[in-house]
Amino acid sequence: MNHNSTYYTDLITRYFSGEITEEELRLLSGWMKTDPQHEDLFRQYMKTWQLIEAQNIQATVNTDQEWIAMQAKMNAASLGKESPIKIISLNQKRNSFKSSLQKTWKVAATVTILLVSSFLLYFYFSKPVNIVVMARTGNLEQVLPDGSVVSLHTGSQITYPEKFSPNTRNVELKGEAYFKVMHDKTKPFIVSSGEVSIEVLGTQFNVNTRTSSGNLEVVLTKGKVSVYYKSNPGDNVLLTPGEKAEINTEQKQITKSANTDVNYMAWKTRVLVFDNETLGQVINTLQNVYQTPVQLAEPQMSGCRVTASFNDQSLQSVLEVLSKTLDLQVKQNGNIIELSGTLCN
């Protein structure tokens, strides 16, 4: 369904013409509650409509003639003369009322055109402009309108308004990002991904919507966050530093646990630490950090253990160390890197 400004303008028109359905009325009511400006514009439109539909238009006074008559009376009084009495015939009065009525309707029509035009132009120029930022070829850092900083992992995308609303700071995330949120207790900062929301006041945390397990993952570094489904915000999970939330979007479950992955920020820091880690887990981490597919020629090799650390090294350099440590062969098959060798004992 199209929910742009033109759509809601049409709903307002249908409301005043008496053609609106119950479903459309519900949508219009919800739209008005989302922003005080929406209600103000509705009231402006209502005033215009009432002006058009006014049935009892009273005759207006010709202020120019009344001013001339009053001046004449004042002049006559200053000269000590009686001012002549002006007699208006009934036909003249009717003609004056008719002329006044026609002028009033012309003014009403003009005002209507101007207000409706202003209504549409206001929506066209004031409707929120969304900014979409995508890290296409590498990690990217973006400063948001409130001064918060978001670091986007390669291939990730964030969408946010050019100007945050008075009550909240909403952003949409696809992929993985690290947030440093400016503290503002009057404006909660909400990161959304599909049906899931992460709400904070001021903190630092990592969000990954594309984990190897298919779950959404939130790891808190500093502060406090609340994780919940939009349909049930009361059933939320609170995280403290060092904790992780895993969200199963299919079963709509949120599980909290201690974060044991020391490399959850490796995509940003390029610091990798493996302490007796399985080769399978090492490969998963490398694929996420370097955004390059790596696979094993033999699935049984995933159980090999790795102990090593790397600091801002290229994928080729990391693979070279692994190949020498585990006696592996590295082969490039198109876009895929394949590792083969003898099975570990």
The per-residue pLDDT for range 17-75, each reduced to its tens digit, is 777 787 777 787 877 788 778 787 777 777 776 666 564 444 444 545 544 554 454 45
Please state, for a pLDDT cut of 70, what percent of the chain lies above it. 74
DSSP β-bridge partners for residue 308: 274
Q: Sketch the domain layout of the chain as residue ranges.
A: 1-127, 130-258, 266-341
All residues at 6 or more sequence positions from 29 whose CB lies less than 8 Å from its CB, including other chains:
none
Are the C-beta atoms of residues 246 and 207 closer than 8 Å to each other? Answer: no
Q: How far is CA 63 from CA 67, 69, 70, 132, 343, in A?
A: 6, 10, 10, 57, 103
Which one-letter amino acid corresponds to residue 120?
Answer: L
DSSP β-bridge partners for residue 134: 157
CATH class of the domain defined by 130-258? mainly beta
Q: Tell me, yes or no, if the two domains 130-258 and 266-341 fold the same way.
A: no
Distance of CA 153 to the CA centre of its chain: 20
Rounded mean pLDDT of the chain? Answer: 80
**DSSP for residue 145:** T
Residue 290 has pLDDT above 80, yes or no: yes
The per-residue pLDDT for range 230-276, each reduced to its tens digit, is 998 889 999 999 999 999 988 889 999 999 999 999 999 999 999 99
**CATH no. of 266-341:** 3.55.50.30
Residue 174 has pLDDT above 90, yes or no: yes
pTM of the model: 0.63
